[in-house]
Amino acid sequence: MSTRLSTRLPAVALAACALLLAACGSSNNTTSGGSGSSSGQAKDATIAAEVPSSIASKGTLTVAADATYAPNEFIGNDGKTVVGMDADLAKALGEVMGLKVDMVNATFDSILPGLASGKYDLGMSSFTDTKDREKTVDFVTYFNAGTSFFVKATGGPAINSLDDLCGHHVSVEKGTTQQDDATAQDGKCKSAGKPGVDVQVYPDQNATNLALSSGRADVSMADSPVAAYQVKQSNGQFKLSGQSYGAAPYGIAIPKGNGMAKPILDALKKLMQNGTYTAILNTWGIADGAISNPQINGAQS
């Protein structure tokens, strides 16, 4: 997937504030809010009938997201509502299944345990579908993204691959594949007799960005659409470095074996067929990551 955002992104002053100050909508304090106005999807009776009675009787899906990962999920201008691609898609999926959606802001590494404990019904927070994660949750794939590096626009190092991280201070968000990759690279660097990677792990993307802007880190890593958005919102402070790598599917996280995977898959296919899925991605400028064949547990590695 290209890291270039193919359409104009909406101007979001709050996202810029979060990027530089890490003070807007931090996911350390759980906040909930609706996912915005109705997307206008009609309930599909056949798909709604697939929803387990335990969920259907509640009438509402509690969907968790770490709302520091614009444009996929972040806090809107009202200071409390989770907005972005995942929030819009969650709302539309809920409508097809005849369910309301309550988006809840939570730290990224708390979402999968929250699914296991019953605190959340779904996790839609740019989760890469991996075989390891599939041991504890089910996924429905819905997007494709790689990892990109970004650095300070002035004086930032040239990072073209993971190998170039040797000897650098790297900021990553806790619980992400970027943390795993940077940590693994630290070992590879040391085994090759090179300086290791100083992997700085932060609770959310806001803090990760702040580490870079303040000079504590000299390179940061994030999913490709997110890294590109951070650069766009930095007013020239950051730039992308090198090419993205490791394209892999995002998955909607679902408690293991609870029966929601099939109705979500069928609802997603309907949104793809009627054009809503593409329209949502276009709204957020990330249509390059669109997929056409969603799957249940489609991890590549």
Would you state the pLDDT for residue 7?
Answer: 27
Residues 214 and 252 in one domain: no
Instruction: Report helix, strand or coil for 202.
Output: strand
**Residue 66 CA to its chain's centroid (Å):** 8
Of residues 125, 105, 123, 128, the one with CA closest to residue 256: 123
- Whether residue 202 contacts residue 209, with contact meaning beta carbons closer than 8 Å, is answered with no
Our count of domains for the chain comes to 2
Each residue's pLDDT tens digit, 113-169 = 999 999 999 999 999 999 999 999 999 999 999 999 999 999 999 999 999 999 999
Residues 62 and 202 in one domain: no
Q: Which strand ranges, in their side-by-side order, compose the sheet holding 238-255?
A: 32-33, 100-105, 60-65, 122-123, 238-255, 137-152, 219-223, 169-173, 198-202
Give the side-chain half-sphere CA count within 13 A for 154.
Answer: 4
Residue 210 domain flag: yes
Residue partners of 204: CB distance under 8 A and separation at least 6: 22, 26, 27, 28, 66, 68, 107, 108, 173, 174
Full-model pTM: 0.82
Residues 45 and 141 in one domain: yes
Residue 74 domain flag: yes
Low-confidence residues of the chain: pLDDT under 50: 1-37
Residues 57 and 121 in one domain: yes
Residue 8 domain flag: no
| CA–CA separation, 268 and 260 (whole Å) | 12
What CATH number is given to the structural domain containing 121?
A: 3.40.190.10
- Whether residue 181 contacts residue 193, with contact meaning beta carbons closer than 8 Å, is answered with no
| CA–CA separation, 216 and 120 (whole Å) | 34
Provide φ and ψ at 243, rounded to 5°.
Answer: -105, 155
Give the residue numbers spanning the domain of 161: 147-246
Would you state the pLDDT for residue 13?
Answer: 34
- Whether residue 93 contacts residue 38, with contact meaning beta carbons closer than 8 Å, is answered with no
Residue partners of 180: CB distance under 8 A and separation at least 6: none
Cα angle: 239, vertex 147, 76; to 5 degrees: 70
Residue 154 domain flag: yes
Residue 3 domain flag: no
Residues 51 and 124 in one domain: yes
- Whether residue 251 contacts residue 142, with contact meaning beta carbons closer than 8 Å, is answered with yes
Each residue's pLDDT tens digit, 210-232 = 999 999 999 999 999 999 999 99
Residue 7 domain flag: no
| CA–CA separation, 111 and 127 (whole Å) | 10
Residues 138 and 80 in one domain: yes
